[in-house]
Structure 1
Amino acid sequence: MGFTQFVHRHRRKLALAFGIAAVGYYAYSYARSRILDWHSQFSASLANKENLRRRFEQNQRDATITTTALLSSLADSIMADLPVEQITQELQSKRSGDRGSGEILVTDTVSLSSTSSEPRLATSQPAATKSRSKKALWNDLKVFAITRTFTLLYATALTILLTRIQINILGRKAYMISVLAACQDAESPADLGIDQELETEVNRRFLSSTWWLLNPGKAELLRVIKQSTESIFAEVAPKTEISYLELEQLIYSLRTSIDQSLDSFLAILLPTTDDLYDVVLANNPPPAQPVVSESSVRSELSLFLDESRDIIESPAARAALSASLTSGIQLLLSNIQIGYYFNMYDQESTTSVNDRDPTFTSEASSDSKPVRLANILAGIDRQAREISKYGSNSENPYFYATNNTPELAALCASVYSNYVITHEM
């Protein structure tokens, strides 16, 4: 039987076999092509995610640098607004006549004085303070020391929150521009139709809105905290002996009073109306005659400010701020507890609590020996100085605790990953 006859006889089977082979070949080719496409897409996705991660982390580092620069100025201002050192000096000037009188021990004022290595005196404080009684001066010292420390704690948490929101909004926009440029093979933002001068001015204005927090916002924050301090500590005289649990209750009552008095922190952080923004603009004029229209700047800027306000009033931002404040206040209580209720250092020592054995427990003890509030005020003042350290070589444990909560990290990730573009690029 010849080959021709074999083919003719089995033509249907051979046709089916060739058909199956052809289908198999094309299926293989298609599958291979799809696999290569998927691999390419997967590789590109990994590269994009890595690029996004790097940019996000860089934004958080930029936010930290910006925040510490702002807090350096803000902390100095708060320390000067509440001159604990000046009142301490007034009390020390009276100590000669008060020895043996049965009033508060002279060592209490010496203890407060010893924490003041760099006194900042407020020239605006009235000279009439010198004519007041020792009791009145001690009351002012109590209010000023506690108010100063809590104002620093709140100012730190609020500055971190606002700066993180601003930097992540701007970082997100820069990332989206880079993505659009890559998709369209653009060499510059101008190729995408973006007015670079307009963007620069809008970004500058947006960041300069922190002036509100550093000035009117700080003044209102200080007023509310001082008022709450006067109310919560009204019945606690400096010579009153209190347990750690009593002190803890007073501190948390003070926080509750502050939070309820402010209700919303938006008015502390940003101007809430156009008229109030004009105050910010008047104090932060453009460095040169702008080459872009004011209406265009305002239109772009309003989008950033509106988004910032919405974020600040969101549950996520409230949770982040609450967590940051809790971290700062818990560190304050822990340091006071270790310093005064476990006698880890004497009142004359200027050694930071944070330099001591980290394994030492700071759990509350219900049977701790009560301590005179006057002595505790020295520790509170010492902690205020720890919070206010923002020099180039300073390590600030309060900033670290406040700036590194999971809730804050989650908020920043949410802001940065919100890719809904609400204005034209």
Structure 2
Amino acid sequence: MPPNQRSRSLLQRHRGKLLISLTGIVALFTTGSVVVFFVKRWLYKQQLRITEEHFIKEQIKRRFEQTQEDSLYTIYELLPVWEMVLNENDLNLDSIITQLKDQKNQSTRQKSSESIESSPLKTKAELWNELELKSLIKLLTITYTVSSLILLTRLQLNILTRNEYLDSAIKLTMQQENHNKINHRLYDWVTSWWSNPQGKMVDSMTTKKLKKDGQEVYINEQAFLSLSWWILNRGWLDYNEIVTNQIEIEFQGIHPRDTLTLEEFSSRLTNIFQNINSQIFQQNNSSLISIFLPKGSGGQEFLLSQTLDPEALTCFHSNTLVFNQLINELSQCIESTATSIVLESLINESFHFIMNKVGMKTMAKKKPGQEEQQNYQMAVFSMSMKDCCQEMLQTAAGSAESGSVNEYLATLDSVQTLDDLSASVYSNFGVSSSYGFKD
């Protein structure tokens, strides 16, 4: 039999086996290709998910860091306003210094004042006594008020930023879901023009409602942020009263010419801080609540009337849901033990800052030949405290962005417990957000 015929007959006899083998090879190759495809697809999705999670974490971190910077810049902007409030409330130390410098011309001014029947000027001793008392009062009032203001601002902005992030995430999720149904929505939109002639009108009304809801949320947030007005115009007076009482007790009988060592001055200041803290850190921080927040509906209405224009106030009264939720969360934060710990940490840092600055300024005022002297007149301490107050309220050229830094604010801003509390509030995603979502 010829070779070609033998080959054909062999192929015919084994054709079934060959087909089965080829089919098996093809099936195996196809299955392998499908498996490889799905494995690659799964790996790609996992890589994409990890990349997205990393991006989200980095975005959350960046927004958190930016929020803390914004809080500091906000304090820089508020300090000049509060300094004006202090000066208007008889805590302008520069005016006392000016009067002391003018004592050389006192007799001339007294004669002039007698000719127009005006009140006599204060004596030099009276002015030094006033400087001693008011420099102490202003120094401690700044300490407690600025510490509270930094804490309040951190709480406010981290609460708002977290809610804003949650809303953005929810809206993004909704947009992705809507994108998956784009064809169906396009069909509905096209058919609505002939099946529902009023469709365009309904869409317009929906858009207007969304704009109105957005405006209400914005005004509610502005009302929430206006709480800083309260602490700078009303709340700080509670601190001022407590501080004044404690200073009068601790420094009673000590006159400007009397001398103290730095250790003795520090000891008296420590006693004042401890007594003030025992008063403000009461059960549930009830004293702090009245300093941070207006009392009752009357106080709240007064605050809003001072910070919102009439049109915004009318819009606010139409819907206070967001504001009430923000206030409730802030109140819970203020009443918490964690907040007490943070505020006390800020006050402690302030005390160390004060003693360091006052100590350096006092020693720098030594006259030649007094290098070994350990005692200092209270008048010298008063001048050092006055200079320290000026540094603590320093705002450079208007803001932190100008490049000049307020050392006191930078010290408080770097307190670790403050960052820990801010991170805790910012990451509290279990708190539900109602922005833009209403029944």
TM-score range, shorter chain: 0.7 to 0.9
Instruction: Identify the structure with the greater helix proportion.
Output: 2
Is 1:221–2:239 an aligned residue pair? yes
1:95, distance to aligned residue in structure 2 (A): 7.9
Once the two structures are overlaid, the 10-residue window that deviates more, 68-77 or 24-33, is 24-33
Among 161, 167, 183, which residue is 2:173 paired with? 183
The answer for the alignment partner of 1:351 in structure 2 is none
The more displaced of 280-289 and 371-380 is 280-289
Return the alpha-carbon distance in structure 1 between the equivalents of residues 207 and 172 of structure 2. Answer: 13
User: Over residues 343-402 of structure 1, what are the superposed CA-to-partner deviations in whole Å (9 max), with x where a residue is unaligned?
Assistant: 345479xxxxxxxxxxxxxxxxxx971222221111111101111212425531111111
Distance 2:230 2:332 in 1: 17
State the alpha-carbon separation in 1 of the partners of residues 39 and 120 from structure 2.
87
Distance 2:139 2:239 in 1: 12
Match of 2:270 among 252, 274, 280: 252
Residue 385 and residue 79 in structure 1: after superposition, are their counterparts in 2 closer, same or farther (change >3 A)?
farther
Aligned-residue offset at 1:199? 0.9
Match of 2:301 among 262, 275, 278: 278
Distance 1:209 1:96, change over 3 A: closer
Offset of residue 78 of structure 1: 1.7
C-alpha deviation, 1:404, in angstroms: 1.7
Q: Residue 214 of structure 2 aligns with which residue? A: 196
Residues 290 and 372 (structure 1), Cα distance of their counterparts in 2 relative to 1, 3 Å cut? closer
Deviations 1:237-286 (A, max 9, x none): 33232222222111111111222232332211111422220111222233
Equivalence for 1:141: 131
Q: What is the correspondence of 1:74-89 to structure 2 with a 5 Å cutoff? A: 74-81=82-89, 82-88=91-97
Q: Return the offset for 1:45.
A: 0.2
- Offset at residue 327 of structure 1 (A): 1.8
1:169 aligned partner: 159
Aligned residue for 1:375?
Answer: 380
The aligned runs of 1:378-389 (5 Å cut-off) are 378-389=383-394
Structure 1 residue 191: Cα displacement: 11
SS in 1 for 2:311: coil
Task: Go from structure 1 to structure 2 and tell me whether the alpha carbon gap of 1:368 and 1:332 turns closer, same or farther (over 3 Å shift).
Answer: farther
- The offset of 1:35, in angstroms, is 2.6
Write the letter of the residue equivalent to 2:243. I
User: Secondary structure of 1:210's match?
Assistant: helix
Shift of residue 223 of structure 1? 1.6
Question: For the structure 1 residues 190 and 238, does the alpha-carbon distance in structure 2 shift closer, same or farther, using more than 3 Å as the test?
Answer: farther
Whole-angstrom distance in 2 between the partners of 1:374 and 1:64: 34
Q: Contact 1:206–1:304 at 8 Å: present in 2 too?
A: yes
Q: Which residue of 1 aligns with 2:189?
A: none
Cα distance change on mapping 1:140 and 1:287 into 2, 3 Å: same
- Give the secondary-structure state (helix, strand or coil) at the position aligned to 2:308: coil
Q: Which amino acid aligns with 1:255?
A: F
Displacement of 1:226: 1.2
> Does the aligned pair in 1 maintain the 2:221–2:322 contact within 8 Å?
no
Q: Which runs of 5+ in 1 are unaligned?
A: 98-126, 349-366
Deviation at 1:50, TM superposition (A): 1.4
For residue 37 of structure 1, report the CA deviation from its aligned partner: 2.2
- In structure 1, what is the equivalent of residue 280 of structure 2? 262
> Is the 1:149–1:380 contact (alpha carbons within 8 Å) kept by the matching residues of 2?
yes
Residue 193 (structure 1) shift:
5.8
Match of 2:59 in 1: 51
Unaligned runs of at least 5 residues, structure 2: 1-9, 107-117, 180-205
CA distance in 2, matches of 1:167, 1:409: 13
Shift of 1:301: 0.7
Partner Cα separation in structure 2 for residue 89 and residue 25 of structure 1: 90
- The 2-side partners of 1:398 and 1:375 are apart by 22
1:288 to 311, 328, 342: 311
Give the 3-state SS of the residue equivalent to 1:234 in structure 2. Answer: coil
CA-CA distance at 1:334 after TM superposition: 0.8
Please give the root-mean-square deviation of Cα atoms over the aligned residues, in Å. Answer: 3.7
Which of 136, 149, 168 is residue 159 of structure 1 equivalent to? 149
Is structure 2 residue 318 aligned with structure 1 residue 310? no
The SS at the match of 1:165 is: helix
Q: What is the CA distance between 1:79 and its match in structure 2?
A: 3.9
CA pair 142-54 structure 1, distance change in 2 beyond 3 A: same
Separation of aligned partners in 2, 1:293 and 1:326: 39
Distance in 2 (alpha carbons) for counterparts of 1:276 and 1:347 = 52
Name which of structure 1's ranges 388-397 and 250-259 shifts more when overlaid on structure 2. Answer: 388-397
Whole-angstrom CA distance in 2 between matches of 1:326 and 1:192: 50
2-structure distance, mates of 1:331, 1:181? 46
Q: Distance in 1 between matches of 2:294 and 2:267?
A: 34
| Deviating more after overlay: 248-257 vs 189-198 | 189-198
* 1:137 Cα deviation after fit: 4.5
- Contact 1:347/1:378 (8 A) holds in 2: no
- CA contact 2:305–2:313 (8 Å) conserved in 1: no
Alpha-carbon distance between aligned partners in 2 of 1:409 and 1:191, rounded to the nearest angstrom: 40
Q: How far did 1:92 drift?
A: 6.0
Secondary structure of the 1:421 match is coil
AA in 2 matched with 1:294: H
Cα gap change, 1:23/1:233 in structure 2, threshold over 3 Å: closer, same or farther?
A: farther
Q: Is the 8 A contact 1:78 1:152 kept in 2?
A: no
Q: How many residues align?
A: 370
Return the alpha-carbon distance in structure 2 between the equivalents of residues 293 and 378 of structure 1: 47
> Aligned equivalents of 1:414 and 1:246: distance in 2?
40
**CA distance 1:25–1:131, shift in 2 (3 Å):** closer
Q: Are 1:404 and 2:414 an aligned pair?
A: yes
Aligned counterparts of 2:278 and 2:271: Cα–Cα separation in 1: 11
**Residues 368 and 262 of structure 1: is their aligned pair in 2 closer, same or farther, counting only changes over 3 Å?**
farther
Secondary structure at 1:288 match in 2: helix
